[in-house]
Every structure is written in structure tokens, then in C-alpha cells.
């Protein structure tokens, strides 16, 4: 790969901006100053630096965002704040959110540029499990819990069985589902006579929300998390 291409892809620059960095003598490859934008680099083995700081290029980017309320899950909107406004990454223009969380829902949202893995995670055939913590306006007793676990009728169809855990404060519960109908969790709870006051996604497949992330904060996935994500797609595909 040419050095200007590498800089463009890794730093999210235009080709012109990449060439300007080279002309400004800010780029080194294996500690050698680069002045020719046509220089070929081995992105897997060469050590490429800008102003002494190593630049790495990852083909696939995975970011975990702790989504706050008030943001819609979209790349751009003329009237609403979007989750992508919270992302600070040099290749931001290549990224998109996987699936969606409602405007007033908080918690785990995966941001990536990998369309294939996004498609696999969202495929109804994969039955990827997502877990939410739910605050309701009333107590959940065994009758409501059993109904949710066995499935309720939405849009004329019985939802798939869910996993439900009720806390000592019976207005708090966890629910794990393997499908994603429109406003599904809120509508399921309404079916058993409970209104959802707040909803937070705490896991998506093998990914678990990092408790250290404050609402609105994000971080790159760890290598171990990426491996789990890829394993989930492969396993569910069998």
C-alpha cells in the first residue's frame, strides 16, 4: 500500500491532506523520514509514525458506546442529536451503529464499519441475545414474570421465550430476548400491565457494557471482545 493511502485510511484524511503531512516531513517508516508519497509500506509489519507517534491501521473498527438519553440511533439527522455525534474517531465517516436503541433508551450500542458482522448480528436467523435492565411503574410478580418468559402476543405473533430476573425491588428487572420487534421490550411489559419508566441495554450477544463507561462515553473493543463477537457470529451461523 502507498504511504499516502495508508495515512488516508488510518487517519481519515483526504489524499491531499495525507500528502501534505509527508511534505511537512512529519512521517517516518521504521524510523526513516518519508518525503515521497509513492513510498510503498507493509501495513502489517512496518512501523509508521506521525510526529513520533505510531499510527496503526485496523481494517475493521469496533466501538462500544454507552448511549445516553436524547440521542437517536442514526448517522445524521437534521432535527435530532445522533449517537454518531458522540463518536470521536479519525475514520468516523466510515462508521455506523449496529441496530438501534430508542431515543429514550440508554446503554450498550455497537459502532463499526464492518457491514458483514453487523448483518449477521442483526439477522433474525442468528437469535442473538440482548439483555436490558428495566424500571417499571409497578411491581412484577410471578404471574407477570411467567407470561413474559413464555412469550406474549405482539403484532399477531407470539414472541420468543424470554429470560426474566426480578430484583428485590420488584419494579426492577432484567429481560433477555433474542428478537428485535419495534419497541419490543416496552410493548411486552405493557402486555402484562406494566409501563416501562426507563430502559437500559446492558449486553448484546457476548458484549457486556463496560461499567466504567459513563453515559456518552465510548471506547474501542478489546481484542478479546472482538474475538467473542466473531465467535458469536460463526457459532450462531451453524
Q: Which residues contact 161 (CB under 8 A, 6 or more apart)?
A: 149, 150, 151
102 catalytic? Reply is yes
State how far the Cα of 216 lies from the Cα of 227, in Å rounded to an integer.
Answer: 25
Q: Could you list the beta-strand ranges (E) of the chain.
A: 27-29, 32-33, 48-50, 53-54, 62-67, 96-97, 106-112, 130-136, 153-154, 157-158, 163-166, 172-177, 196-204, 207-208, 218-220
Tell me the CB-side half-sphere exposure of residue 121, using CA atoms within 13 A: 25
Dihedrals φ, ψ of 114, to 5°?
-95, 95
Is the CB of residue 171 less than 8 Å from the CB of residue 138? yes
> How far from each other are the two terminal CA atoms of the chain, in whole angstroms?
36
Q: Looking at 46, 102, 104, 210, which residue is catalytic?
A: 102
What are the residue numbers of the active site?
102
Amino acid at each position: 500500500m502507498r504511504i499516502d493511502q495508508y495515512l488516508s485510511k488510518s487517519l481519515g484524511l483526504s489524499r491531499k491532506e495525507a500528502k501534505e503531512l509527508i511534505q511537512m516531513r512529519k512521517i517516518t517508516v521504521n524510523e526513516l523520514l518519508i518525503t515521497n508519497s509513492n513510498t510503498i509500506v507493509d501495513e502489517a509489519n512496518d512501523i509508521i509514525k506521525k510526529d513520533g507517534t505510531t499510527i496503526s491501521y485496523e481494517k475493521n473498527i469496533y466501538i462500544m458506546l454507552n448511549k445516553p438519553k436524547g440521542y437517536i440511533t442514526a448517522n445524521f439527522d437534521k432535527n435530532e442529536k445522533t449517537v454518531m455525534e458522540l463518536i470521536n474517531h479519525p475514520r468516523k465517516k466510515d462508521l455506523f451503529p449496529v441496530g438501534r436503541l430508542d431515543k429514550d433508551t440508554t446503554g450498550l450500542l455497537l459502532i463499526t464499519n464492518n457491514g458483514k458482522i453487523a448483518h449477521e448480528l442483526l439477522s433474525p436467523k442468528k437469535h442473538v441475545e440482548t439483555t436490558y435492565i428495566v424500571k417499571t411503574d409497578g411491581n412484577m410478580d410471578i404471574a407477570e414474570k411467567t407470561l413474559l418468559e413464555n412469550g406474549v402476543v405482539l403484532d399477531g405473533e407470539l414472541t420468543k421465550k424470554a429470560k426474566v430476573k426480578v430484583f428485590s425491588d420488584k419494579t426492577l428487572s432484567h429481560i433477555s430476548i433474542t428478537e428485535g420487534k419495534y419497541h419490543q421490550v416496552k410493548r411486552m411489559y405493557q402486555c402484562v400491565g406494566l409501563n416501562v419508566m426507563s430502559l437500559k441495554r446492558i449486553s448484546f450477544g457476548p458484549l457486556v457494557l463496560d461499567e466504567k463507561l459513563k453515559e456518552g462515553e465510548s471506547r474501542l473493543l478489546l481484542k478479546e471482545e472482538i474475538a467473542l463477537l466473531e465467535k458469536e457470529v460463526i457459532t450462531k451461523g451453524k
